[in-house]
Amino acid sequence: MIRKWALRAIVLYLIFGIAMYAYLFFFANTSIPEALRGTAVDPATFLNGRELMLSEDYSRIRNLLFFLATPYEWLFYFLILILGVSATFEKWANNTSKFFVIRSAIYLFWLSITSFIVMFPLSFLSFTISKSYQISTQTFPGWMKDKLIDFWVSYGTMFIIITVLYFLIRKFPKRWWLAAWCLMIPFSIFMMFIQPVVIDPLYNDFYPLKDKELEAKILDLADMANIPAEHVYEVDMSTKTNSLNAYVNGIGSNSRIVLWDTTLERLSDEEILFIMAHEMGHYVEKHIYIGIAGYILLSFVELWLTAKLMERWLAKRGKDWKVKKMSNLSSLPAFLLITSILLFAASPLTNMVSRYQESRADTYAIEMTEDKEAGIESFQSLTKAGLSQVKPPYLVKIFRYGHPTMLERIKKIDEYELNK
């Protein structure tokens, strides 16, 4: 019976992959509406023929990899659970120490290293494709270094989460999900606080913006928006990518305004100021706090559903999978599988909210800078640098895009009526 379930899962994954390939490469409509031909939205007006071809090909491949990677992860969790691999990992951990904290660390290490190995081919494929399309400028050793940092940062974070989670499952068998939710809120806020100063510097070098004239302009914008910013940072990304980006992250005293050096090299001051005004729009409209509130609500529902589904699933199949009860560490793949599926199912809603907030931030940038030309040119440059589709397929938009499409963003700026 176990072999049949494993075979069915693999066949279902292959069918899904073929269906997504057919959709993205043959059936999805990515053409610009006829009424917008020749306008600022039309990629033919700011991309040459080769760039148009490359952007379509690269976007299709990247989108396919996204839709293959997520269920591939589900398949991994499902197979190691039903084939008893997870139970074997727990047995190894139990034979090593009588202390739960050590057993948790050992079990999680085996699970994490197996996941790393299994997911590595897709990650490496994504890297090589980015290199071939000249999006990534990173060397293989540099890429591997980042992957290893990812591994240990994720392992350390997960070790804390899993150790506390399974302690709560043992302590509160019926209400563990509620206790976990209560502890997760301060932990998530703490991680947001340390992200800019502890985690991000592990990957890249951050330093104060060298162009002091540009920094003064950005800080003037921040002052106009009543944003308490004292410094602007730039980060060395040109050794890793040709893409452009700028962002504001962190909370409280650790919040940072950050510009990629690729953005500084390729965009004019006016275009950079428009992008910065967009980021400031998020602060002014308190999107970060709205996002935290939404995250708290969504995580409450997700943990409750996960608890109910795990309880029923393990009661029915746990014996076959050699998972005696939910408090066994070997039940972790079931927890990760269910939460991942729920997050993916919720992504159309969360992405829709995010797109609305991004659109509001675009409006703020237009009104603050009153420079529509800079806004249009900055989005055109972002499209060109990242070989992005101006009009992605519908399924890609709802499952991948936390920002409006470039068609929507450029069209909005182009048609926006400024009050003068």
Residue 265 belongs to a domain: no
Which range has the top average pLDDT, 214-228, 310-324, 350-364?
350-364
Mean pLDDT, the chain, integer: 91
- At 317 the pLDDT is 83
Q: Which of 339, 415, 413, 324 is nearest to 372 (CA)?
A: 413
Residue 221 belongs to a domain: no
Q: Which of 362, 368, 370, 364 is nearest to 418 (CA)?
A: 370
The percent of residues above 70 in pLDDT, for the chain, comes to: 99
**pLDDT tens, residue by residue, 30-58:** 999 999 999 999 999 999 989 999 999 99
Q: 21 pLDDT exceeds 80?
A: yes
Q: Which of 370, 336, 359 is nearest to 80 (CA)?
A: 336
Residue 55 belongs to a domain: yes
Specify the length of the chain in residues: 420
Q: Which of 289, 285, 250, 411 is nearest to 358 (CA)?
A: 285
* Active-site residue list: 279, 362
**Interval 380-396 mean pLDDT:** 93
Query: Residues 6 or more apart from 410 whose CB is under 8 A from it?
Result: 40, 41, 376, 379, 380, 390
Helix (H) or strand (E) holding 61: helix 49-82
**Interval 140-167 mean pLDDT:** 95
Q: 269 pLDDT exceeds 80?
A: yes
Residue 261 belongs to a domain: no
Residue 253 belongs to a domain: no
Range with the poorest average pLDDT among 1-10, 61-70, 95-104: 1-10
Distance of CA 381 to the CA centre of its chain: 22
**pLDDT band (50, 70, 90) for residue 113:** very high
Q: 253 pLDDT exceeds 70?
A: no
The annotation places the binding site for Zn(2+) at 278, 282, 358
- At 8 the pLDDT is 92
Q: Are 355 and 403 in contact (CB under 8 A)?
A: yes
Supply angle C-alpha 338, 343, 344, rounded to 5: 100
Pair of tokens at residue 415: 């048609």
**pLDDT band (50, 70, 90) for residue 71:** very high
Rounded Cα distance, 127 and 121, in Å = 10
- At 1 the pLDDT is 73
Range with the poorest average pLDDT among 108-112, 221-225, 384-388: 221-225
Q: Are 365 and 278 in contact (CB under 8 A)?
A: yes
- At 194 the pLDDT is 87
Q: 226 pLDDT exceeds 90?
A: no
Rounded Cα distance, 31 and 389, in Å = 10
Q: List, in sequence order, every beta strand (DSSP E) within 8-123.
A: none
Q: How far is CA 30 from CA 42, 52, 392, 407, in A?
A: 12, 12, 6, 11
- At 264 the pLDDT is 92
Q: 229 pLDDT exceeds 90?
A: no
Question: Looking at per-residue confidence, does 291 or 154 come out higher?
Answer: 154
SS3 82: helix
Q: 79 pLDDT exceeds 80?
A: yes
Q: How far is CA 321 from CA 92, 219, 310, 318, in A?
A: 16, 58, 13, 5
Q: 276 pLDDT exceeds 80?
A: yes
**pLDDT tens, residue by residue, 321-377:** 888 888 899 999 999 999 999 999 999 999 999 999 999 999 999 999 999 999 999
The percent of residues above 90 in pLDDT, for the chain, comes to: 72
Rounded Cα distance, 119 and 80, in Å = 13
Residue 258 belongs to a domain: no
- At 378 the pLDDT is 94
Q: 96 pLDDT exceeds 60?
A: yes
Q: Which of 385, 386, 383, 374 is nearest to 408 (CA)?
A: 383
Q: 212 pLDDT exceeds 60?
A: yes
Range with the poorest average pLDDT among 98-112, 214-228, 375-389: 214-228
- At 420 the pLDDT is 57
Domain around 74: 2-203+286-415
**pLDDT band (50, 70, 90) for residue 91:** very high
Q: List, in sequence order, every beta strand (DSSP E) within 232-318.
A: 232-235, 246-249, 256-260
Residue 112 belongs to a domain: yes
Task: Give me the number of domains the chain comprises.
Answer: 1
**Interval 177-206 mean pLDDT:** 90
Residue 272 belongs to a domain: no
